[in-house]
Structure 1
Amino acid sequence: MFHQSPATRRGPFLRLGQGRAALVAVCLAVVAAVGSSGPAVGADRAATEHRAIVDVPGSRSTSEQARQSALLAYWTPERIGKALANEEAGDSRSLSRAQAAPVDGPHSTAVGKLVFEHADGKPDACTGTVINSDSEVLVLTAAHCLHDGPGLDWTKNQVFYPGFHDGSAPYGGFTAWNIATSPAWSVGSKPDYQHDYGMLVVNDNAAGETVLDAAGGYQIAPDMRTGEQVSLIGYSGPPYDGNHQEFCQDLVEPTVPPLNMWQVECPNMTPGSSGGPWLLDYDYDTGTGYIGGLNSINDTGDFMASPRFDNDMKTFYAMMEQIGEARP
């Protein structure tokens, strides 16, 4: 079953809870890194600092359109196949038990395959989700799909294929214009999985459509709570083929301290599902829902954990929305 995720135009941090009396609106704070020069100048500076790296044959052209075309041509079916085969193992951290069972589920058009290369040229793949944002060009994924962690490098040559299924990309490819992660991800002595989230600002597809117009998107919900049912979607690698969206539902539970994350038991969310959405209030028939988290780390077995979407996430999102609006 294939579902089109509706691309409504409400604010990105709205949350509609089943059994709740009303929508809860959460104000977006402008990140402090914007600086005293004003939001527009700050967005321009941020867009320059983390411009997506493209170093494929033909990418040295002075034409941005030619660079994008070269990158799309670079990701042949064979190279995508190598990326699927190289999906890297997640963190081996042990998480406490929860109750769940994977179930068959739908295919979301707003969830897609993200392919990229590490700095050494090794191809890899994760999962991304289109955000229902005013800029219409934001894709959410895990930070470790964009940056390899403290002291290491940014990934490169990213292309996002929403609705990817069985080797087919029905909405085309969306090349990355800008990428960024939570500021906490790449500092310190080891990766901070409690802030393992990032976003891409993507270019339009070959038809001139924004990613939101082409594939639909989900709003971000900042108030996931213990005991809520959440639906996970991801392009899981081995023993799965990475060509199809896997689906799992469970009740959200907190991780064991000192790790301050959410966890579910979803054994079919294997490497390659990283960055896939945790959808609240998910409706199987309509494909609607809200992003409450994302696939971050697992214990190489049953459990998947997500960062909490707190005030740090809200300020990060505000910066990314400014960068998206600054995209040419």
Structure 2
Amino acid sequence: MAGGSPAGAGAAPAAPRHPAPRPSAAVRTAPAAEQQRARTFWTPERMRGATPLDLLLTRHAAKSLKTPRAGADSTTVAPTAAPASFPQAGGPWTGGGAVVPTSGRVFFTFQGRTASCTGNAVTSQNAGTVITAGHCVKYQGSWHTNWVFVPGYDNGNAPYGQWSAAKTLTTPQWEASEDINYDVGAAVVTPLNGRNLTSVVGAQGIQFNGGYNKQMYSFGFPAASPYDGTKLIYCSGNSSKDFLFSQDHSLGCNMTGGSSGGPWFTGFSESAGTGLQVSVNSFGYVFLPNRMFGPYFGDVVKALYDKAQAA
């Protein structure tokens, strides 16, 4: 219209939209004296006597459970492996291969007691990143101390040494409220005898936003009955998405306390013992025995991994 003005003319321009900053992974730095002490603290007797840190949860309700971002890009670090074969509900791993030295027991002091979990060495920029469960680095508001990773653990023996953590990390969601959907932790271990961890034991690949309902292999060092923590145990089969209260993966598995933090692999090669890590042993429902659940490795876990490998 003659003499008129365009709609909004003279109004202040709209402020550009920026996505809200994503909360950063929570980090604990272990004092140098603690790192040194941890290597001598964990004698074979203390390792054998460590209590498995159970996280067997009864989930009666869930609030604001979020699903992975639709259309998230799949991210893979390291080449894919060959497909694997038959299902296994739980038993000793006798196949050898790379999974034997990359998997290990995790030991730490938790509220005055010695405790254990499982961890796995992954491909990383710093060649010293271990992935585990969030409750294996921080639980009930307390960061664990005297934290060490013992790859290839063998009944009190440490064939590849004891690697003390310089830093332990977890997701902001686990840090804030111990949200079971984000029960993932990481550790950056210091060099040992002048060598970095993955130059000694190798490393497994890791994948993010890889989807659900795949064949999976899960590994751990369960230490609660009927297991005793002396052997690397595995489960395998077709996974599914938790249909109850979480966005996690689900797999038929009878591993017990102490297996927490152990790796889940897709594209696992039984002959080579290699795969892409896509989850960790996290929890079970007391009303649903012989089933393990593990968090989805989405963007939040990728941010945790990126922060760990750059530390």
AA partner of residue 271 (structure 2): D
AA partner of residue 247 (structure 1): Y
Report if the CA contact (8 A) 1:128-1:275 is conserved: yes
SS of equivalent residue, structure 2 residue 119: strand
| Residue matched to 2:305 | 317
**1:240-263 residue CA offsets vs partner (Å, 9 max, x unmatched):** 110110011011101024411110
Aligned match for 2:200, one of 209, 214, 222: 214
| Residue matched to 1:261 | 248
Is 2:194 the counterpart of 1:229? no
Report if the CA contact (8 A) 2:213-2:241 is conserved: no
Is 2:208 the counterpart of 1:241? no
AA partner of residue 239 (structure 2): V
Report if the CA contact (8 A) 1:133-1:321 is conserved: yes
Unaligned runs of at least 5 residues, structure 2:
1-20, 61-86
Aligned match for 1:167, one of 149, 152, 156: 156
- Structure 2 CA distance, aligned partners of 1:285 and 1:243? 23
SS of equivalent residue, structure 2 residue 30: coil
| Residue matched to 2:9 | none
| Superposed displacement of residue 70, structure 1 | 2.8
Report if the CA contact (8 A) 2:133-2:184 is conserved: yes
How much is the aligned-residue C-alpha RMSD, in angstroms?
2.2
| Residue matched to 1:8 | none
Higher fraction of strand: 2
Aligned match for 1:306, one of 266, 286, 294: 294
Is 2:77 the counterpart of 1:77? no
| Residue matched to 2:120 | 129
AA partner of residue 53 (structure 2): E
SS of equivalent residue, structure 2 residue 116: strand
| Residue matched to 2:188 | 201
| Residue matched to 1:52 | 30
**1:25-104 equivalence runs, <5 A:** 32=22, 50-52=28-30, 59=33, 68-83=35-50, 86-93=51-58, 101-104=89-92
SS of equivalent residue, structure 1 residue 50: strand
**1:197-222 residue CA offsets vs partner (Å, 9 max, x unmatched):** 010010012x2211111111111112
Aligned match for 2:175, one of 182, 186, 196: 186
SS of equivalent residue, structure 1 residue 164: coil
Distance 1:32 1:192, change over 3 A: closer
- Structure 1 CA distance, aligned partners of 2:223 and 2:273? 23
**1:135-154 equivalence runs, <5 A:** 135-149=126-140, 152-154=141-143
**How many residue pairs were aligned?**
258
**1:57-78 residue CA offsets vs partner (Å, 9 max, x unmatched):** xx3xxxxxxx544321111112
Unaligned runs of at least 5 residues, structure 1:
1-30, 35-42, 60-66, 324-328
- Structure 1 CA distance, aligned partners of 2:229 and 2:245? 32
Is 2:140 the counterpart of 1:157? no
- Structure 2 CA distance, aligned partners of 1:235 and 1:214? 20
Report if the CA contact (8 A) 1:100-1:264 is conserved: no
AA partner of residue 142 (structure 1): A
**1:286-311 residue CA offsets vs partner (Å, 9 max, x unmatched):** 11111011100013531111110111
Larger radius of gyration: 2
TM-score (ref. length: structure 1): 0.73
AA partner of residue 82 (structure 1): G
Identity of aligned residues (%): 28
SS of equivalent residue, structure 1 residue 79: helix
| Superposed displacement of residue 100, structure 1 | 6.1
- Structure 2 CA distance, aligned partners of 1:169 and 1:286? 22
- Structure 2 CA distance, aligned partners of 1:104 and 1:245? 6
AA partner of residue 208 (structure 1): G
TM-score (ref. length: structure 2): 0.77
Is 2:278 the counterpart of 1:278? no
- Structure 2 CA distance, aligned partners of 1:94 and 1:266? 18
Report if the CA contact (8 A) 1:87-1:271 is conserved: yes
- Structure 1 CA distance, aligned partners of 2:138 and 2:92? 32
- Structure 2 CA distance, aligned partners of 1:199 and 1:113? 14
